[in-house]
Each structure stands twice: as C-alpha cells, then as structure tokens.
Amino acid sequence: MKKTRILLVEDETDVLQVNRAFLEEQGYEVCCAETLREARNCLWESPPDLVLLDVLLPDGSGYDFCREIREISLVPVIFLTCMGGDGHIVTGLDRGGDDYIIKPYSFSVLQARVAAQLRRRGTVTGEISLPPLQINLTSGLVRLNGETIDLTRKEFLLLLYLVENRGQELSQAGIYEAVWSAPPETMGNTVRMHVSRLRQKLRLDEGSAFELSAAGQNYIFLRTVYAP
C-alpha cells in the first residue's frame, strides 16, 4: 500500500530531523527541504499529499511559496512557524494555508492536525452535479454552464461548503471555522471578501440559477431555478 507523502519545509536542521523522525514513526513518507528551491524540486518530482511549511526560510517566504502552490495544486498546507499573532495567522490562511500551528507545539497536536487535513482530503473525491454547476472534488475544477471558473483553493472550499449546506442560514464564524480551520477571532473580513469574490466569479448577481444572499451577518446559498 502506498504511503502518504508529506513535504516538510524547515530550515532549522535539528527541528527538521526531529519532525521527520516523528512523522516517519507515524507511517508517513517524508520529503525534507531546508530551502524553497529544494521544496520546489520535491513538489515537482514527488507530489506530496500534504505540506508542512515554515514561514521564515533562507531564500524566501513560506507565505509566498504557499501562494505558488495554490496556483498548481489543492494539496493541504499547514504552516509550522514561530510567527504568531492574528496578523500572521490571517496572512497564512489568506495565502492559501489550511491550518496554522505556532511553535512550540506538541507532537500530539501536530499528528492530530495532519490527520484532520488528510481526512478532509480523503473525503474530497468524485463530483457534485447541480446543473448548470459542476464541481470536480478531485481536481478542484468548477464549471458553470460548461465554462471553467478559476477559483483559489479557499474559494473552492467555500463554494463546496455553501453547496453542501445550501438552503441553510450559515454564520460567518461558522463558515470561517469550517473552511479556514481557525478560531473566529482571527476572521476579520476574510469571509466577506471571499464571498464577494465568489459572487463575482460565479456571476451570482446576473439572473443566475443560484443565489447567495446575506441575512444580517449570515449567508444563505440557494438554487433558484433548474437548468433546462
């Protein structure tokens, strides 16, 4: 059986080796990188199932590398960094990160966060067909009326959450916790901005077959008409 592959990007050699040993003990295959150059090579040569990413690296920022990853892949990314504080957490999540762990952390927390992201990735298979909207859960490809809609990973996960909970009134805090895997106090305007971009990309204000309406601080996603 193929092992789950993790790309571990960390410039402190001792931390890298300790984390690698722990992850391998848990049964994962680990590709290690101490620079972004090495990380890019690992990403292309052996595409991982999950990325553990430091922020402060010798040849660049982990935030920027996460954005690079999001241009080509939906692989889960967890930041492992000493850069704490709401501002850094929001930046990491806005750049496409799925979770954010602040050093120091325990191995039990690391394993739980890794397992949670892999479970989510494992359940995202197949396709949702809600004409004229089609969502491929494996590739992350979204089509509306046959036209491919270019979404970031977070926009894709937001759309998926709205579709799966269509007809229900969803709070911004609940959306943020579900999609960004982070506490509401770090939310800021994140949900509102992503909802706005999603509306524009799906053209929800142009007599669409779908409606994403605001109810106070909450949102409701509805299918308003059926495709012929």
How confident is the prediction along the chain (228 residues), in pLDDT tens digits per residue?
678 899 999 999 999 999 999 999 999 999 999 999 999 999 888 888 899 999 999 999 999 999 888 877 778 999 999 998 899 999 999 888 999 999 999 999 999 999 988 887 664 556 788 888 888 876 678 998 889 999 887 888 899 888 888 888 999 998 988 888 778 888 889 999 999 999 899 887 656 677 888 877 788 888 765 444
pTM of the model: 0.61
pLDDT value at position 125? 53
DSSP-based three-state secondary structure for 211: strand
As a whole number of angstroms, the longest Cα–Cα distance in the chain is 61
Instruction: For each of the domains in the chain, give its residue range(s) and CATH number, in order of start.
Output: 5-123 (3.40.50.2300), 127-223 (1.10.10.10)
Which residues have C-beta within 8 Å of that of residue 192, sequence separation ≥ 6?
A: 172
